Structure 1
Amino acid sequence: MSAPSGSPSGLVLPPVAERTVPEVLALAAARTPDRVALIDPGSSLTYAQVWDSARRRAGALLDVVGLGGRVLTMTDNTVDGALTWLGLASGGMIEVPVNTAYRGTVLASQIQHSGATAAVVEADYLDRFLAAARHTAVHTVIVRGKGRAYPGGITVANSGVLDDADMPVSLPTLTGSDPMALMYTSGTTGRSKGVVITHAHAYTYGAPQLLGAADADDTAMVVLPLFHVGGQWAGVYNALIAGAACYISPRFSGEAFWEEARIHSCTYALLVVAMAQYLNQQPLRPNDSDNTFTRLFIAPVLREAQQFAARFEVEIGTGYGSTEAGTVFTADFGKARPGGCGWPRPELETRIVDPDDRPLPSGKTGELVVRTSEPAIMMSEYLGLPEETAHAWRGGWYHTGDAMYVDSDGQYVYVDRLGDAIRRRGENVPSADVESALNAHPAVLECAVVGVPGESEHEVLAAVVLRQGHELDRAELIVWVAEGLPHIMVPRYIRVVDELERTPSGKIRKRPLRENGVGEAWDREAWDREAADIHVGRHGVRIGGS
């Protein structure tokens, strides 16, 4: 297969059978053994050292759970955390990443459902993990950091089990269709589900051949958490496949982002749009363009992409994917535009369909469905949920639950989650467009926009979190937004909230906002009548007789 446009250094996708973690690490260690591979604020390892450590950890963990055993990982963004999942994957075991913020019944439910028999946990999280792991299949916990004895039915071992392990005589022979991970979805529209992931699926999600970066001479910066597919696969794994260096940041910090990147000479990073918006909202500085980055992959693209790219002198790429489907669309660096997700990648077939699964023509909004000729590169099942798996895969197509349309140049354009879609005056109102306009206001830190029932159609409600020390003139905000949006997109209701409820992976939960309705929300239409001389309509903001 030829490399898609934008593939770094002419890299091509290998056969599906060869898309495995041990294949990637062994190849990189043979080609560039002394090239720095993984970096964090306290450590740095070459490719030879990473491959050595991954094999040792594989051997040690195989002694605990055996081939195919499931191991929970509740670890921080560090080189050590990356080595653990690389070791599990190299040994043919199943990693089950756990959000480090989990506790109580949410944590207990994931431990129970996963069927994992062992775990690798940071010392800081040990107490709440052990409390949640009672009466589950977990029998061994390896503690990273300063562990201690624990009275109970679970064996708690210190990190020496991994750090001082002997090199195994051999490791299992793996292929791309072998399972590698059990990744839990965000649960934006319901309960979180465990997605069974193969080696080829993880590889293809993060493949630089598809994303257009990283390159072998890049230093990639990872700011997303490693329990998230964006941090682990599109971040760390992406860099390892490319043969690049990878700096793992403990966490995203908008204030420290550019300086942290400068210290480690980072040239490429993947950001979610909220991170990019936060960076763009910072006060202008004369040295904004004086940074080490050449490219940023931002998903989805922020509304102010052109201004952002000029301000920081970077090229912006984008794409669309999911835990279940992997990377579906990409747009090359310099070609990303707001709203656009890019074009379909090789090995996938995509359609936009109506509620009866009939294909829709370009320009018509419907649900994105996906299928592949290579079953190993998409999810095989939701663990223990055969009915939900069958529903997602009805008709042989994976139903994403995302509303999209195809524009005139063949690019797919995201509209909303199907359950979040807003219809006004017979038109779709993309919540992301409205949110981007609101987020540009100096007083707004972040927001979420939903449709709420009106007399005959949806009305737009915006829940807004204010920046510290700011107050909000709601009428002034409406005038601000109406200057740049079609009138049908201008929110009718504004509710100021202290914070927005989020899923464990950081996505905003919109269902509670809809369920809470418009009670206590400020109503623009009432304001229109009270103001008498100000009206928001088809032609924008009209003041008096103007």
Structure 2
Amino acid sequence: MPTEMQTGLRPRDVLALYPSHRDTIPTLLASRRAAGPDRPVLLFEGRNWSYAEIDDASGVLARALLVRGIRRGDRVGLVSSNGDVPLLMFLAAAKIGAVFVPMNPGLTDSELTYILKHCRPTVVACRTAELERVERVTRTFNEVPWLLPLDDIGAAATDIAEVVADIERYADRNRAIALPEPQPDDPAVVIYTSGTTGFPKGVVHSQKNYVWAAEAFVERMHLQPTDRLLTVLPIFHINALFYSWGGALAAGAAMITVPRFSASRLWRLATETGATVFNILAALGNILANRPRSEFDPGHRITRIYGGPISAEMIRVFQQDFHVPTLIEGYGMSEIPGACNNPFEGPHKVGSIGKPARHPRFDDTFVELRIVDEDGCDVPVGEMGELLVKTPIMALHYLDDPEQTQAAMQDGWFRTGDYVWRDGDGYHYFVARKRDIIRRRGENISGAELDRILSEHPGILEAATIGVPSELGEEEIMAVLVPRDEPPPAEAIIDWCNGRMAAMKIPRFFVFVNALPHTSSHRVEKYRLKQDPSLLARAFDRERHASAPA
């Protein structure tokens, strides 16, 4: 059984502390419970769950789902912010072999409708605040899902005992029902990610993919059983669900989460909860770096940060001002979790996404990387090309989308659509996104989706959205618009966007042009728009306009 004295263990030795499992989420949890049932596993708003408590509660919830007809392969939707009960839903779905589909509660009705129609959940769990909306958008479906109010199963409770009591009541105390045994290759999770067709794609991962990705994060960050992983990122993203939550389970450690990110109290939260590991995105890191130092609490215990991209300035600030010694930059996508990273033990190269990722249970290669030209031929060291990734935890497929699956997953390799180059030491460096994806504040946003919505405005003939540099890192969104007649006021375009796209997708900059550049096949040449600095120079900036004095 792990003790507080067991620190500094090698990743393989950490995994060796626990009984073997069968590469499924339920057996991973059972293995860690067997070694330390009373150890903390999840901390949320004063509720500190032990491995035994969360295993038992998720088991009762799994039986409740079975009683109501949820079976292996059925999809269990979730529309919620972070919390302990949403993670109980994840574990319960895994225990019956159902497929967990977390969704962003910040989506508009039309965005949420598309995903719900696409994934066809048998049940959708949501907080009371979202219940009416989900009911409204699903009532016309051919197969209307059962709606499960999270408040009825403990989300509104004050302590763990009350959460468990709520679940017991909801489950009608059906403890005698035997749970099935999911198999490693059973689909377990669908993560929705933006696609170049203008609609999100459902990335399907198996039970084994989840477990191996979780164990790989133990390697990536040298997690220890005594670690506490703080995540403020949403669980409908792979970072929080696979790396933080999965990494905590794989290490026999604990995760801390909150409903939403608060920069002003982040360091106080870290100190109060004893957090030791923290996952960030570039925008989040830059926000913290620019906050008043009066908010910083030097009593925190965070020693390791994982994320990307991590600039030299961010490293300086976190090491010197915030006293966090180790920052590890890596690279992954929803389809290929944790593909590469700077080795934990170094050397660390600033600006590099690192080398192929390793796994504690693999002596040989775990991930392979190739950089190829347009003809699929490998390029020499130092030359840019598209990154291809081969990993045993590549997504199974895109949900109900064989064409996109075939285009992206070929002969065991995943085509990332990202341009990178490699140095003589085998370190890789990200250059640009080949696909029309804008990276804004940790979100992958489809330019094609925004183009479609903006072009539907009656005053717009054609629209092209592009990413432009952000002062917080990553990108801001600029809409380049061709008007039908006189350009509509920018405020009218913003009003059009409100309710048709999530707030984080609404462009910051708007600029009107007479025409857009096109290829011979009439595709907009967005790279030419990015090369024209005059567009941004004369664009309407809605953030600056909103902050201007009246």
- Shorter-normalised TM range: 0.7 to 0.9
Question: What does 1:111-130 correspond to in 2, within 5 Å?
Answer: 111-130=116-135
Distance change in 2, residues 1:509/1:71 (3 Å): farther
- Report the equivalent of 1:100: 105
Distance change in 2, residues 1:306/1:226 (3 Å): closer
- Alpha-carbon distance, 1:117 to partner: 1.5
Q: SS of the counterpart of 1:251?
A: coil
Distance change in 2, residues 1:89/1:259 (3 Å): same
Structure 2 counterpart of 1:10, one-letter code:
D
- Report the equivalent of 2:43: 39
Cα distance between partner residues in 1 of 2:273 and 2:258: 10
- Report the equivalent of 1:10: 13
Cα distance between partner residues in 1 of 2:377 and 2:136: 49
Deviations 1:450-473 (A, max 9, x none): 899xxxxxxxxxxxxxxxxxxxxx
Answer yes or no: is 1:330 the counterpart of 2:322.
no
Answer yes or no: is 1:384 the counterpart of 2:389.
no
Cα distance between partner residues in 2 of 1:261 and 1:87: 28
Deviations 1:200-246 (A, max 9, x none): 22223333333224321011111111111111111112111111121
Structure 2 counterpart of 1:143, one-letter code:
P
Distance change in 2, residues 1:101/1:435 (3 Å): same
Question: What does 1:204-219 correspond to in 2, within 5 Å?
Answer: 204-207=212-215, 208-219=217-228
Q: SS of the counterpart of 2:263?
A: coil
Structure 2 counterpart of 1:522, one-letter code:
A
Mean CA deviation greater in 160-169 or 120-129: 160-169
Cα distance between partner residues in 2 of 1:297 and 1:180: 25
- Report the equivalent of 2:380: 361
Question: What does 1:175-254 correspond to in 2, within 5 Å?
Answer: 175-187=183-195, 190-207=198-215, 208-254=217-263
Mean CA deviation greater in 388-397 or 160-169: 160-169
Match of 2:179 among 171, 180, 198: 171
Contact residue 329 and residue 353 of structure 2 kept, 8 A: yes
Cα distance between partner residues in 1 of 2:412 and 2:184: 21
Answer yes or no: is 1:402 the counterpart of 2:418.
yes
Cα distance between partner residues in 2 of 1:339 and 1:502: 36
Distance change in 2, residues 1:257/1:165 (3 Å): farther
Structure 1 counterpart of 2:181, one-letter code:
T
Contact residue 330 and residue 342 of structure 2 kept, 8 A: yes
Please give the TM-score of this superposition, normalised by the length of structure 1.
0.73
Cα distance between partner residues in 2 of 1:510 and 1:357: 37
* Residue ranges of structure 2 left out of the alignment (5+ in a row): 1-7, 154-165, 358-364, 439-466, 481-496, 512-525, 540-550
- Alpha-carbon distance, 1:39 to partner: 1.0
Q: SS of the counterpart of 1:369?
A: strand
Answer yes or no: is 1:416 the counterpart of 2:422.
no
Please give the TM-score of this superposition, normalised by the length of structure 2.
0.73
- Alpha-carbon distance, 1:330 to partner: 1.8
- Alpha-carbon distance, 1:290 to partner: 4.0
Cα distance between partner residues in 1 of 2:426 and 2:508: 30
Question: What does 1:77-92 correspond to in 2, within 5 Å?
Answer: 77-92=82-97
Mean CA deviation greater in 170-179 or 353-362: 170-179
Distance change in 2, residues 1:80/1:93 (3 Å): same
Cα distance between partner residues in 1 of 2:196 and 2:20: 31
Q: SS of the counterpart of 1:51?
A: helix
Q: SS of the counterpart of 1:340?
A: coil
Query: RMSD across aligned C-alpha pairs, in angstroms?
Result: 3.8
Deviations 1:422-441 (A, max 9, x none): 9xxxxxxxxxx9947x449x
Q: SS of the counterpart of 1:389?
A: helix
Cα distance between partner residues in 1 of 2:370 and 2:500: 30
Structure 1 counterpart of 2:400, one-letter code:
G
- Alpha-carbon distance, 1:507 to partner: 7.9
- Report the equivalent of 2:150: 144
Cα distance between partner residues in 2 of 1:421 and 1:60: 40
Match of 1:22 among 6, 19, 26: 26
Distance change in 2, residues 1:50/1:16 (3 Å): closer
Distance change in 2, residues 1:301/1:520 (3 Å): closer
Mean CA deviation greater in 513-522 or 332-341: 513-522
Q: SS of the counterpart of 1:205?
A: helix
* Residue ranges of structure 1 left out of the alignment (5+ in a row): 148-157, 423-432, 441-445, 453-498, 525-546
Structure 2 counterpart of 1:350, one-letter code:
L
Answer yes or no: is 1:339 the counterpart of 2:351.
yes
Mean CA deviation greater in 78-87 or 332-341: 332-341
- Alpha-carbon distance, 1:195 to partner: 1.4
Q: What is the aligned-residue identity percentage?
A: 29
- Alpha-carbon distance, 1:139 to partner: 3.3
